[in-house]
Amino acid sequence: TGIGRYTQNLIANLPSASGFRVVLVVAPECRDEPSLATYPKMVARFHPYSPLAQLEMLFLFIKIRPDLVHFTHSAITALWPGKYVVTIHDFIKHQSKGVGTTTQTPLMYWINYLGFLFVNWMSLARAKHIFVPSNYWKNYIHKKYNIPPAKVSVTYEAVSDTFKYLQPSAYNPRIPKPFVVHTGSLYPHKNIPVLVSAVEKLGGKVHLALVCARSVFSSRIPHSPYIHFLGRLSDADLKAVYKKALAYVFPSLIEGFGLPGLEAMAAGVPVIAAEASCLLEIYEDAALYFDPHNPTDLAGKIDLILADVQLRQELIARGKSQARKYSWVKMAQQTWQTYQGKLL
């Protein structure tokens, strides 16, 4: 998951913890993860969204007796009375809500949604410091919750070195060329119907590869001979798809950071992105933008990439340069400095 990737890269890039004792609380499947081998671990068995996770975390922290806790997931902060900092990756549930955005029954959705709002509010109000992945969300927190900007730090995410230097596999998707690609879930805020409509408007000039698992939301995507589901792929297979793609299209209405588009840039694929949420902040002039509510505009941008080879090459060059601006090492250093400021 995005939160898991963030946490793993934070831990892997923490500066020397001289003078401090760092203890990790991890899920059972992460107990033997090689990248986490540096630090002692305690295992949390309940899912973060379970009410029992709140109690379990409280008991684990009573055993550990930490001076400071960093919650990289805001769902599990409610019962801990001690000093903590928290990372809020996005507020998508605030902006994309309703029974149409979930696989749960309406009753369970609203119970969980109200619980989420309460825990989120508690997390922000009681935290000693808050980390977010973009200025877009820092400004949102200030306006929505009246939290002082000084209490919030922007720690940008990045493309991992593992992904950057990974060689593409021999995977060859059986898709007519040219094709554009999109990775991610099919949740409503991802705005996939607009992407599908744009591809259909091109009448077979361009096909679409969707790299995602099928879900209950798949039924909301119109059947089309131009749309191809590839399922979930390994990173090496994904890079093989990127190598063959005309462009990566990111139509999402709301994102915390927009890492998939940045990974596509690092892989040398032109990116067409929605002019929405934090994406303009993160991608700057390295992407070609479109109105996310207008499939005709998106179809025109795809057609432009298809026709203009020079523009495509410029976007590839800008994208690679943009991806290099972000660093997990820098993110971890900023985070560590905040730890020290709250402990010393």
Do 229 and 314 belong together in one domain?
yes
Helices (H), the chain: 2-12, 51-64, 92-95, 106-126, 135-145, 161-165, 192-201, 235-244, 259-266, 279-283, 295-307, 309-324, 328-343
CA distances to 74, 190, 256, 271, 323 from 121, rounded to whole Å, are 10, 25, 18, 35, 33
Do 146 and 193 belong together in one domain?
no
Q: Which residue range(s) make up the domain with 288? A: 171-324
CATH code, domain with 298: 3.40.50.2000
Q: pLDDT by residue (tens digit) across 238-249?
A: 999 999 999 999
Q: pLDDT by residue (tens digit) across 106-134?
A: 776 667 767 777 777 788 889 999 999 99
Do 52 and 132 belong together in one domain?
yes
Give backbone dihedrals phi and psi of 331, rounded to 5 degrees, phi first: -60, -45
Do 202 and 314 belong together in one domain?
yes
Do 76 and 222 belong together in one domain?
no
Do 32 and 148 belong together in one domain?
yes
Joined together, the tokens standing for residue 340 give: 């020290």
Query: What does the alpha-carbon distance between residue 52 and residue 187 come to, in Å, rounded to a whole number?
Result: 27
Most confident of 23-27, 36-40, 306-310: 306-310
Do 262 and 250 belong together in one domain?
yes
CA distances to 98, 114, 205, 259, 321 from 160, rounded to whole Å, are 34, 35, 34, 10, 15
Do 6 and 84 belong together in one domain?
yes
Do 150 and 40 belong together in one domain?
yes
Do 132 and 86 belong together in one domain?
yes
Model's pTM, two decimal places? 0.89
- Structural domain count, the chain: 2
